[in-house]
Structure 1
Amino acid sequence: MNTVGIISTVKAPILQLHLFVNYHLNVGIDHIILFFDDPDDEGIDFFSKYTQVTAVRCSSDYWHKIIGKRPESIERRQTINVNHGAELLSLKKIDWLIHIDCDELLRTSQPIKQIIGRHKTDAIRFSLFEAVAEKETYDHIFLPSLFKKKPSKKQISMAKKLGCSNAIFEGEFLRGHMMSKSAVRISNKTKGKHGIHGPKKSHGLKLTNTDLIQLLHFDCVSIDDWKMKWDRRLDGTGLALRMRDNRKKQMQLYESAKMEGGKALSSMFNKLHNIRRRERPILYILGMLKRIYINKKMFENPTFEANQ
């Protein structure tokens, strides 16, 4: 049976990380490596207790050892971490790695290792869904049940013609990343080629797609998460240098709304991350919206041994 590990560079509340880790261990992931972008994060000591989790403190000493100094952009830090993480997973005899963020969950209707084990390729791309914020606050980010499915250009065109003007922003339906994530076989062929969404260089690698594994992206599902994301982008603590034009526009709108105050922020958040009820039936018919309910038991503490 193939073994599978997750790698994630994280900076999030410990409750969110706890749910993220529990869920994926319950899904059947063999090992999780968390690279803590904040070297003083309280989660480091907490997750160091468990044999199925490796907590890496991204301190100045860590960066000096790996590359010399801490990279300025979050994308560069993620790329370095996933390639270092691949080496750590290889030492643990893990066969496949999946690089995702801690606001993402992997959903399958069959055991994930069973699905991955059927593939002889070097990488497997998942189908992509993005959570819709139906209200401004949730007890935690993994509670929304309404999701956008990554659409085709034809679906976007039809949605526009049928009056779904609010759902489409600057020609796009999704607000977060447009490319899904992948499971990548750990081998000499992929060594040093791991990127944020999959292999950085596909030359000579065999890639395939699957709908049997869904990536659920909970991007900005509460107004507080939305504010935190863009504040980090603006103040440099979460600097992103490779944002597409649509994301740059979202950041500009956030910055303008922030200057105007609470009502403007609320209005802009709902415009970008909620969907008008009159538009939803059309988007359902077009196959662009779907209800997905996650079993709450998947977030409970799994049975695993703590480090002694």
Structure 2
Amino acid sequence: MTTWGLSATILAPTPEILRFAAYHLDQGAHRLYLYLDEENETAFGFLKAHPKIRVTTCNAAHWKKLVGQRPAKHQARQTMNATHAYQRRVEVDWLIHMDVDEFLVPQVPISDVLDKTNATSARVRPMELLGGSTDAFKAFIPPNGERRE
């Protein structure tokens, strides 16, 4: 069976971080590489305790080791952390980078889809929480009248 994981650079309250992690583990993620964009001892403790999660606090020591100093823009931090996750010892067949407000909502198990994929990369359109909401999402609407639930 194909294994998959995700990397995310996260700046969010602890409940949102834990919901994101739990949801994707429930969807079958084999490994989560979570980079906390600022100190969060509570989230760190819960995440560190899970055997499928690799958690890093992005403090001065982390950035010094990676690139010398903390990049000012969050997009650069996301890219560098995703690259760090990608360059680690291989623990998954597929790796996706996502934001804490994005969720994979498959109709079949993600591993089943990836098992049938012969490509070396794939485009995924996650559902994304609408700002400030806990239960309203936006999703890609396919062109040409194709419908999805």
Alignment of 1:263-302 (within 5 A): none
Unpaired stretches in structure 1, ≥5 consecutive residues: 156-285, 293-308
Alignment correspondent of 1:231: none
Post-superposition Cα deviations, 1:77-134, rounded to whole Å, max 9, x if no partner, equal: 000000001122xx2531110100110100111110110111111111123555557x
**2:2 aligned with 1:2:** yes
Alignment: residue pair count: 149
User: Counterpart of 2:35?
Assistant: 35
TM-score normalised to the size of structure 1? 0.44
For 1:114, the aligned partner's letter is D
| Equivalent residue letter for 2:2 | N
Give unpaired runs (5+ residues) of structure 2.
none
Letter in 1 for 2:29: I
Secondary structure in structure 1 of the residue aligned to 2:108: coil
Contact 2:104 2:127 in 1 (8 A): no
Q: Which of structures 1 and 2 has the bigger CA Rg? A: 1
Is this contact kept in 2: 1:132–1:148, CA < 8 A?
no
Aligned equivalent of 2:53: 53
Contact 2:105 2:127 (8 Å CA) reproduced: no
Give the corresponding residue for 1:96.
94
Hey, what's the Cα distance between the residues in 2 that align with 1:125 and 1:41? 34
1:127-276 pair list within 5 angstroms: 127=125, 129-131=127-129, 138=133, 141=134, 143-144=135-136, 147-150=138-141, 152=143
What is the identity, as a one-letter code, of the residue corresponding to 1:104?
Answer: E
Root-mean-square deviation (Å):
2.4
Q: Which runs of 4+ in 1 moved over 2 A?
A: 39-42, 127-133, 147-152
Give the TM-score normalised by structure 2: 0.87
Give the % identical residues: 26
Superposed CA deviations along residues 157-176 of structure 1, whole A, max 9, x for unmatched, are xxxxxxxxxxxxxxxxxxxx
**Residue identity in the other structure for 1:144:** A
- Post-superposition Cα deviations, 1:196-236, rounded to whole Å, max 9, x if no partner, equal xxxxxxxxxxxxxxxxxxxxxxxxxxxxxxxxxxxxxxxxx
Q: Which amino acid aligns with 1:68?
A: G
Task: Find the partner of 2:119 among 118, 121, 135.
Answer: 121
